[in-house]
Structure 1
Amino acid sequence: MYLLMLVVTFHSYLMAVHSCPSLCACGNGSTGIGELRWVQCSDPGISAVPINAPANTVKLRLEKTSITRVPRAAFYNLSELQFLWLTYNSITSIHPSSFVNLKALRELRLDGNLLSAFPWEGLRDMPYLRTLGLHNNRLSSLPAHAALFLPNITYLDLSSNRLTILPAELLDLWFPLPGQQGGPVQRRVLGLHDNPWLCDCQISMAMSLSMSLGSPVVLMDQLLTCSRSLGQSGLLLTQADLSRCMRPSVQPAATRIVSPLGSNVILRCDATGYPTPTLTWIKASAYTVMQKSPRVGVRWSIISLNGLSYKDAGEYRCQARNMAGISEAPIKLKVVAVTGASRFPKIKSQKTLSKSLSKNRKQIFFKKPKPSPAASSIFISKKDNQTLISVKSFTPVNETRATAFGAGKVVPTKKYIKRRKINLLPVSKRKTRMFIKTTPELPGKSTSALLSETETAL
């Protein structure tokens, strides 16, 4: 009984391998890598994807049929399939899981259908896919997430569709900046012609980069036209005035910041470029982000970090992006422990500072006092048959002090000038010296005149 079941199973397998779907042609072909099993269905009467194609089929062609949709797991039993052509049918929709189990597929062509959208996420079921043809469909947009599923595609034909805008993510994929590619740059062939492109910096940059020496991308046709560029239509991209297009340039306020633990810090970067770039901060941390565009082509952004902790330390990257490309700049933040020497002096508040300034608005003047009349006295005495004449005088010195009210206040203080001694006797009589104590001259009379009068009186 077991042997009978085995024979039936083997026979079913042989039938599945060697059978051919109705209205289709099957055959073997030899190439440099060996025998290939192919199936070709091109009868207009076929309205659904055949489910009984041989399991060892390597190449399947469904062309010029009435197929309108590709259902889920339509080719699940064709695990050896390498070439799948679904060209010039009437396909309007493809299920995202239509290509499950096609792990050997290398080429997928869907030219000449009625597709207005394509399930880009379905490409992850075909890891070895290199060629994708979507020529002559009705695709009106390319989503940004399509770039996630196209890194292995080396031939992509998007010509003769209704595309108007090329996402920046695709430009980053096809023309990576130096240092961004993870390995050797892949050579790609792109078909972008015969689309009503909006002539902006993005498509202009793609074309100019593809024409540069050593470009990793080659365009099938470089005659791209603009359908909506400043009210113009049918204008060649090479004739459009796109001189204002400029990749972003990022300038941080500081590239290295050292801040104490628990303090607040603000990181800022400025970016220029046209169109006006958008800014993104890259760092896994909790912070607030604010962006402003003071004028066209210029944008700045800040992040506020409050109550710094050690986990806030590290490298923050400010990334600017526009249709012409991306650019970024790093900012390194170091958080240090607070010590007594590193404490910051207290700064007076604005209110206290204003009050202090208002108090001292009056200037302090030091007034020069008027000279006071000098007081003097003359003393005559005899000692050892010597006549001593002593002139004693003093001038009060006025001292000016500044008060807290701003005005100069004169405070009289008695400071006596140092006295000096003068001998007035004739030389012949100078046995004992006579000393006269003098001070600066009195108002109206000089000291010499006063002494002269005194000598006459003697």
Structure 2
Amino acid sequence: MDAFCVMLRIVFVFYFITPGSSTCLIGCSCSEENLGRSLLCMETSMGHIPEDIPHDFTKIRIENCPLTELPQGSFSKVSALEFLWLNFNEITLMSIKSLEGLANLTELRLQGNKLTSVPWTAFQDTPKLKILDLKHNRLDVLPEHALRHLRTLTYLDLSFNQLSVISKDVFINWPLYQISEKEWGKEGVVSNVVLVLHDNPWLCDCRLKGFVEFMRAVSPPIILMNSYLMCSGPASKANKFFHEIQLKTCMKPVASAPETNITLPRGANATLTCLVKARPDPTIHWMYSLKIIRGFAATETRIDEETITSKLVIPSLHLANRGLYTCTANNFIGNSSVNITVNITSSNTSIPLPPPVPMLPSDENAYIDIRIAKQTVYGITLEWYAATDNPAETWFTIHFGKYDSPKKEIIYIGPGINSYSVSDLLPVTKYEVCVTLKNQPPRDGQCIVFMTGSDISELEQRERLIHIIVIVCAMVLSVPAGMYACTTEARFSCVDRCIDLWKKRNLRGENSQGTERQGTFDSLQAASDEGLCRDSEEKPKKRQKPEDKSKGGTAADLY
């Protein structure tokens, strides 16, 4: 009898559910509206974008689902798509081709996800995009040409992110802004452009000077949704509005020392002092024979808004401590250094002191301090610092390739650049990257070995698990309630959850003829903003959300 019931359930699944899946996805609802056909998926177990979405949808809304990424061609078959809402999911990655085939897309909303960066060139596939909502993400950088392909945009929301510094060139280079300045005022030519930038941790130092001045002078056709942008740092400007502060132009560091020649007896404590004036704040290194000093204690004290004093304490001087010490300060404009000579006297004059350790030529044997600033499953961002006599004329060579490969790719980096990003790497692969002065071979300390992420198989397993749960739930929902009596226990682990899902789906069906359906994709409604997010958090969950797995599980070893 039990076997008969199982077979009967399978028949129900394939006879009643499978035909409908060709027109609507399981767990979602579809509707016909004046502007086209709509797909609504709320709080489903959807862990990836389905490949079988019907091509005739003009509106898609997938929210509160465990989506983690938008791969290439996510909606490429839905060429008629005009409105795409993917709010309050777990999206951390967007492929550069994730919007491929969406030439008719006019509205894209990605509110409440976990994006730390956006492949801005992806928008070259959406020439008609007018509304872009990225609020409540984790964006920390806005590249200079980020808006190059957003030529028809009328609404851009970047509020509640992690943006701290933006160049005014981001907006000056925006083709839409350039056209608006020339054509605005001519009837029917250009619409106003609304920018939303509030609630970001703006760092109000010299790097933000151009942006602050641009925001003060902004006028139609650019309209700020909230013009009271506030500084988060530095401490002297925290919690002040842009219109209350005055910022100075950035300045290359200037390092100096009160004493450049110090003579002390053996065993005495030595304190070397270095004064640095710079805007923005510099990174200060102490070096001895062009090696970063890590064993001695260096402390920094702020004198005023643009002056920092750094003191290096050398306890109990030994003969090995004698020689030339260099204090080097560096910011994104350049670097400056000052030398301090330390001499040691001996109480026994009959014993000659050995010569001090010679200072190595800086340009030929420069010390290069490198690190991985950012790493994902498929790429890294490398940063380095080098002390050279002429930073404005210093070229670097990057040697990059698989760890066990004798041949490495050679990349030349021009002066003034201290970072480089590599993408499209193979997963679970060991790589080596080295930074040297131009055309020099790598030396110890100039290379980093790292391994790319290994979570692809985990994602595949999770997708299979979600697929199985969806099928089992569909089987349970397809059987009348009275038929459960013929089973032995009728205690599937997901029955309660699926019944609750069935009730919710029926409620949606009852309301599908009312105003809720009509207002689903109204771009001005507040239902999908903070209220929707708050409601989804307050109501009890009927199922356990899949565990969020970081995509950055990688290791880097410096040698």
TM-score range (shorter-chain normalised) is: 0.3 to 0.5
Ranked by relative contact order (alpha carbons within 8 Å, sequence separation 6 or more), the top structure is: 2
The structure where helix makes up a greater share of residues is: 2
Alignment TM-score, normalising by the size of structure 2: 0.38
